[in-house]
Structure 1
């Protein structure tokens, strides 16, 4: 179990220090000897990698290394986490503006914004996956690069069968129920189905098989303390499930578009400003004052978290409070839990993005789904879900069609297939709108995606 090497692709990103601190805290449990941070942005890697290394030293003697050489990062790796943003914050801002100009939502993982991001993300992640297959073929790849489900589908379609999509949102219900009952999350068995940022939780059962979720969903106090507060009681009753917060963009499509369009600065612009401020302050502080750098980073993280999906918040919600069951480690906790189980720790029950393998009636076995799994030294296996309510199944099938077509479009660099993908998406549908969106994205992002036919 010891001597494991963990590589973070995108290690100069703003979430890198959170991940490294969490991994260092669990280094002994995971048998971690080295955490290697890879990024193509040398300055960000220097600034945020320095924060990461300082945080790690407080928890273990795990060796933290920063590099701009992908071969150095991936050679000998046991686990790799990918979290990259091709085109940076500027591309995200452009994606949002183009979508809004055409009268549709610009959110970066949903609909047009998700397609534009995938056009840039998929080729990059496939490149790293191919290098990983050459250098460390037995390594597990945990993908957090958005749109996570679509990117994972592309990885699996390309034959990378040890690639798994991870997302903390997929596990919020399990953790909220655990917090409400004062038990460990792994003592519970969630029944999660859907796609990344488009999933529902049918039940969260204890070891005796009793569903603990349904009574809590009927409790207004529980709903107000979780992200279920985004959805009114009538909708909750109609659905009968815990609803992933990103489904706000579907169930309140016109309201989401109006709210995001009315903001003086979009989410992308706000994040870009916060990131620039953080990097500027870290550069000013310099390496001689690591404690000040850490304090600056902590303040940044708290501020960023407090504005998450603020336009979806009911007016009665307390601003900036952490929701019930939400941990401080985010996606890092999901990845680290998987690593622990795969390396001999207790079996883990959670939800990740993997092929449904016939466990979900409404999807093909090769379709990557956000689904309940059990994880142990034998691997990651989806658990039986079977049939799901038709309203959820219909939306899931429609968005999965979009994902399939999007992966095909990116693989073949086909404008026509990309138009078909957006025509299949429930937030677009219109051919004229889909074609105009695709043309705008292809023109704007040519430097990152090259020429399409």
Structure 2
């Protein structure tokens, strides 16, 4: 019989929390729980989600003790795993991350370019605080961090918490592989055994095999050259692609692929390879943050309130998503020694032979009770190496700017971003971001 686990979801008020709860409930045979806790510093927002999830748990898994709290000691005491997906500043600050760069003709995106840098400066102290809570109240626990921007957060935890039990993860490759599985007729993205290297939201696949060892790349490349990761017809089974902005992102992979047809690109590379095109097709008055607030957030919260008012979740529309599946799979591998092969963001230490040892790279790892073991991806081509080193320098400068409270280093980071055309534009964006983030950033000198 598997040992039952205690989990706290940090960011209990997130629109993704209900999906994680559904996945946890559906996987009690693989990852049984004794306790599930929510923690959020916004108690009012968390209550909306928690009231609905309390009903779901009572009806579907009443053996699980459920607690929702804003008190760190109550949340982090006696837990085995911290599943963290916080958004410091919420969606309103995400909106500024997107709109301020666009005002200057630069990509406005939550994890890429100046917007991602601004978000990173806010996320660092928030994630570090969670690590400290975990280490104070449950020092043997693992933190599975899903908070963005993952590369900047990973670099910060590498420096500030080098001995902490934290694993930084991202579900974008999982979502892409699900789309690929649909394209080539596999039942699940987990049926694909891949080789991949890069930084978070900045990587390439070099190999995809099925479980029998058959090469899937020729068929996949033929499709991507025509349609990107989008479907070849209007019908598709990927719920992510129901949103126009995500469909465009998946289809744009066709152009990113054309830059190097020897590999398959992460969808986020469009922001670095085609920033002018992204800006041209962006509405600076209605960005992705507005879209989320108008659609996903409104829909999720309305369903939470409907369930709470009805007193039953018998007909709830909540479903477990790819992000939830990935985080539960990772926790199970750590708890039960299953040696899953998963893409994680880890210190390089030679996994990519011609990148710095201290780079926080995203590569396949074997996950067990020992933690994670990165697999060697070898020497990567000059094009990818050059792009990665530039972006890596950006991310390291952001963390240095945070630690040193350095305006100059943050200016250098924004100037070096491939999405920004000049130091003049970088300074104008930075000055606007400094003003917008006064409540969140350290005072820069």
TM range (shorter): 0.7 to 0.9
Task: Establish whether residue 447 from structure 1 lines up as the match of residue 443 from structure 2.
Answer: no
Consecutive unaligned residues in structure 1, runs of 5 or more: 302-327
Structure 1 position 150, deviation (Å):
1.3
CA–CA distance in structure 2, aligned partners of residues 96 and 222 of structure 1: 25
How far 1:145 sits from its partner (Å)?
1.0
Q: Where does residue 235 of structure 2 map in the other structure?
A: none
Between the aligned partners of 1:390 and 1:239, the Cα distance in structure 2 is 14
Q: How does 1:28-427 map to 2 (within 5 A)?
A: 28-60=29-61, 61-158=63-160, 159-176=162-179, 178=181, 180=184, 182=186, 185-186=189-190, 188-207=192-211, 209-219=213-223, 220=226, 223-225=229-231, 229-232=251-254, 235-236=257-258, 238-261=260-283, 265-274=286-295, 277-278=298-299, 281=302, 285=306, 287-291=308-312, 295=316, 298=318, 328-427=320-419
Instruction: Give the direction of change, closer, same or farther, for the CA distance of 1:234–1:277 in structure 2 (3 Å limit).
Output: closer
- Aligned-pair RMSD on alpha carbons? 2.6
Instruction: State the 1:5 CA deviation.
Output: 0.9
Q: Label 1:16 to 1:276 Cα distance change in 2 as closer, same or farther (>3 A).
A: closer
The alpha carbon displacement at 1:63 in A equals 2.1
Instruction: Tell me: CA distance 1:237–1:150, structure 2 relative to 1, closer, same or farther (3 Å).
Output: closer
User: What does the per-residue CA deviation read over 1:298-333, in whole Å, with 9 as the maximum and x for residues that have no partner?
Assistant: 4xx8xxxxxxxxxxxxxxxxxxxxxxxxxx522111
Report the TM-score, using the length of structure 2 for normalisation.
0.87
Alignment partner, residue 313 of structure 1: none
| Contact 1:47 1:279 (8 Å CA) reproduced | no
CA contact 2:228–2:254 (8 Å) conserved in 1? no
Asked if structure 2 preserves the Cα contact closer than 8 Å seen for 1:95 and 1:116, the reply is yes
Q: Displacement of 1:400 after TM fit?
A: 0.7
Shift of 1:242: 1.9
Structure 1 residue 261: Cα displacement:
2.8
For residues 433 and 73 of structure 2, the distance between their equivalents in structure 1, rounded to whole angstroms, comes to 31
Q: Shift in Å at residue 207 of structure 1?
A: 4.9
Report how many aligned residue pairs link the two structures.
Answer: 423
CA distance in structure 2 between the aligned counterparts of 1:6 and 1:213, rounded to whole angstroms: 38
Task: Name the SS for the 1:86 alignment partner.
Answer: coil
CA distance in 1, matches of 2:117, 2:411: 10
1:311 aligned residue:
none
TM-score using structure 1 length: 0.86
**Is the 8 Å Cα contact of residues 51 and 294 (structure 1) preserved in structure 2?**
no
Quick check: 2:13–2:42 contact (8 Å CA) kept in 1? yes
Q: Is the 8 A contact 1:140 1:163 kept in 2?
A: yes
How far off is 1:66 after superposition?
0.5
Aligned partners of 2:255 and 2:116: how far apart in 1? 29
Measured in 2, the distance between the counterparts of 1:202 and 1:150 equals 24
Q: Give yes or no for contact 1:352–1:372 (8 Å, CA) kept in 2.
A: yes
CA distance, structure 1, for counterparts of residue 357 and residue 307 of structure 2 = 51
Q: More deviation in 14-23 or 50-59?
A: 50-59
How far off is 1:149 after superposition? Answer: 1.7
Separation in 2, partners of 1:339, 1:50? 25
After the TM superposition, which residues 3-18 of structure 1 pair with which residues of structure 2 at under 5 Å, given as runs?
A: 3-18=4-19
Q: 1:320 is matched with which residue?
A: none
Q: Which runs of 5+ in 2 are unaligned?
A: 233-248
8 Å contact 1:24–1:59 — kept in the other structure?
Answer: yes
How far apart, CA to CA, are the structure 1 residues paired with 2:300 and 2:315?
12
* Deviation for aligned residue 1:429: 5.0
Q: How far does the alpha carbon of each residue in 1:65-116 deviate from its partner, in whole angstroms, 9 at most, with x for none?
A: 1111122111222111111111111111112121111210110100100011
